[in-house]
Chains A and B, each alone.
Chain A
Amino acid sequence: MKAVAQHLVAPLLILIAWQALCTTAIVNTQFLPSPAQIASAFWELSHDPTTWRSLWVTTLRALAGLALGVLAGVPLGVGMATSRLVDHLAGPLVAMTYSLPKVAVFPLFVLWLGVGHATAILSVFLACLLPIIVHTFQGVREVPRVLLWSSRAMGDSALRRLLKVQLPGSAVQICAGVRVALGFAWVVAISTEMIAAKEGIGKSVFVYGESGAYAFMFAGIFAILFVAFAIDRAWLWAAHRWLAWSEAREER
């Protein structure tokens, strides 16, 4: 109970100060709507099915891209860590594209595929791919040699060694990679919607901003932040439980 209260102190202080600044008219509510105004806009939005639909579209794009990134990134990372040939072939490409802002290829995808789910998901996928590859690679590389030798001495096949030693041994790193990728997924999903999209909560927020409905804009911003934060916490919690046997698991 005390721990929960401790977490609430700073947000509550900020909220009170913010409301005070607005009611005393020190800041213009045209530029910064008060928490009360935003809450009422939030309430109104939550009764509008299109809001839920936009939020759902964005979440779907972020998570679908992330899932594809995991499906492609984990095998690639494992391949790079276990085979020199794969490392030599894929390594340079990973190193080259690591520092590229993945949103930059979005306009190109728009040219190729038009505006829609496919383009957004493809961009998210690319952004998620690299952190997952890099973390998986590191994780598999960090599996203690002794464990691999033991597995070999016990006559395990390569597949069994992969499933029983290498993947569990790198699970902590892979989960950390997925968490990094999750952050990227939101950023890319939302920014692609702000750049060019027909629907999505990023688009809605931008439209509210352009049309001057600032209370709604802030309500939308907070809706995104809530969902993104909740999903991050959920993943952290799931990974923590799932890796309960590991000593190196990420702090909650």
Chain B
Amino acid sequence: MPTLARIVGTRLRTAAVRCISPLLLLALWWLAAERGWVRELFLPSPASVVHTFFTLLEEGEILEPLWISLLRTAGGGLLALAAALPLGLWMARSTAVGRLLDTPVTVGLVIPKITFLPAFILWLGIGSISKIALVGVTCVFPLIVAVYHGARATPTVFLWSGAAMGVRGAAALYRVVLPCILPSVYAGVRVAVPVALITTYTAEMVAGGGGLGAALMYAQRMFETPKVFVYILLMLLSGMLLDGILGLLRRWFLPWMEQGQR
């Protein structure tokens, strides 16, 4: 029988071992910058990156672009979800619609949607709207597939039971089908969120118009490498943050979802 102390000890040791490589990388970075192995222009020291972060924070050049990027990501993502839910359900409900939309969805899932960016800029301008639309188009296909598969996997028995208890039509959709597809939709959202974030940043890097991506490109064009590092690290953190939030959401709303399922 492993005692509690031993379990905690093993956990701690594993955690410590897993810190080695990030710390090594950090040490190597620090050493390379400190010893002047690489020029400051190419690789600023960690200290100067941290310093730049706080300067930028004071100047308001961190929170504002971060906020813009996150809003665009959320806007596009929610738009995609709002479109994917009815479309996916309809495809699952009606064989004709399912057959009709099968090809567009398969094609849409595979093609690189970022290619449409110049077209979206032409139609919707270089502001937020074209980016939100692109994020929406990028996320809508995996979400449709998730909703569709979730709805197809809803046991007919549940619908029958619901009908026997007087739950029909719209009520059945809301009380039987939606709870059934939630885990599948969640899995789709988990795929779509990083994609939305990546698309937002990429669109900003290409087209400008504010946000972290535009700030990053601006810093690079000015050869302000510490700023480049700050913005890259922020993008890294924003991705980790959103993933963490999704994990929390699952714990709150889908506690019955299996652990192994993602």
Chain A residues with CB under 8 Å of chain B are 6-11, 14, 31-32, 88-93, 96-108, 110-112, 183, 186-187, 190-191, 194-195, 202, 205-206, 208-210, 214, 217-218, 221, 224-225, 228-229, 232
Given A88-B17, A111-B223, A221-B118, verify A191-B202 contact (CB < 8 Å). Answer: yes
Interface residues on B, range: 35 or more
In the bound complex, how far is the Cα of B243 from the Cα of A7, in angstroms? 36
B100 neighbours in A (Cβ, 8 Å) = 9-10
B103 lies within 8 A of A10 (CB): yes
In the bound complex, how far is the Cα of B225 from the Cα of A31, in angstroms? 39
B242 lies within 8 A of A99 (CB): yes
What would 11 more interface pairs be, CB under 8 Å, given A107-B220, A209-B118?
A: A10-B101, A10-B102, A98-B239, A100-B236, A104-B201, A104-B232, A112-B42, A191-B202, A209-B121, A221-B119, A228-B112
Q: Can you list, as one digit per residue, whether each of B227-262 has a CB less than 8 Å from chain A (1) or not (0)?
A: 011011001100110110000000000000000000
B115 lies within 8 A of A224 (CB): yes
Instruction: Count A-B pairs with CB separation below 8 Å.
Output: 148
Q: Which of A88, A104, A190, A209 contacts B114 (CB 8 A)?
A: A190
Q: 23 A-B Cβ contacts within 8 A?
A: A7-B102, A7-B103, A8-B103, A9-B99, A9-B100, A10-B102, A10-B104, A14-B104, A31-B122, A91-B18, A92-B19, A99-B242, A100-B235, A101-B197, A101-B235, A103-B205, A104-B201, A107-B205, A111-B228, A112-B42, A194-B206, A225-B111, A228-B112
In the bound complex, how far is the Cα of B213 from the Cα of A102, in angstroms? 12
Chain B residues with CB under 8 Å of chain A are 14, 17-22, 25, 41-42, 99-104, 107, 110-119, 121-123, 194, 197-198, 201-202, 205-206, 213, 216-217, 219-220, 223, 225, 228-229, 231-232, 235-236, 239-240, 242-243
B198 lies within 8 A of A101 (CB): yes
Of all chain A residues, the one with the shortest Cβ separation from B218 is A107
B243 neighbours in A (Cβ, 8 Å) = 99
Q: Which of B17, B103, B112, B206 contacts A195 (CB 8 A)?
A: B206
B197 neighbours in A (Cβ, 8 Å) = 99, 101
In the bound complex, how far is the Cα of B22 from the Cα of A206, in angstroms? 38
Given A7-B103, A195-B217, A205-B118, verify A89-B228 contact (CB < 8 Å). Answer: no
Q: How far is the CB of B197 from chain A (nearest CB, A)?
A: 6
Given A101-B239, A229-B107, verify A191-B99 contact (CB < 8 Å). Answer: no
B122 lies within 8 A of A103 (CB): no
In the bound complex, how far is the Cα of B111 from the Cα of A49, in angstroms? 24
A31 lies within 8 A of B110 (CB): no
In the bound complex, how far is the Cα of B126 from the Cα of A209, in angstroms? 12
Complex A-B, nearest 8 residue pairs according to Cβ-Cβ distance, in ascending order: A99-B239, A209-B118, A107-B220, A101-B198, A186-B112, A100-B236, A194-B206, A89-B21
Given A93-B21, A195-B205, verify A107-B103 contact (CB < 8 Å). Answer: no
In the bound complex, how far is the Cα of B35 from the Cα of A225, in angstroms? 48
B112 neighbours in A (Cβ, 8 Å) = 183, 186-187, 190, 224-225, 228
A9 neighbours in B (Cβ, 8 Å) = 99-100, 103
Of all chain B residues, the one with the shortest Cβ separation from A194 is B206
Interface-central residue, B194, B229, B242, by most chain A CB under 10 Å: B194
B114 neighbours in A (Cβ, 8 Å) = 187, 190-191, 194
B103 lies within 8 A of A88 (CB): no
In the bound complex, how far is the Cα of B228 from the Cα of A112, in angstroms? 12
In the bound complex, how far is the Cα of B243 from the Cα of A101, in angstroms? 13
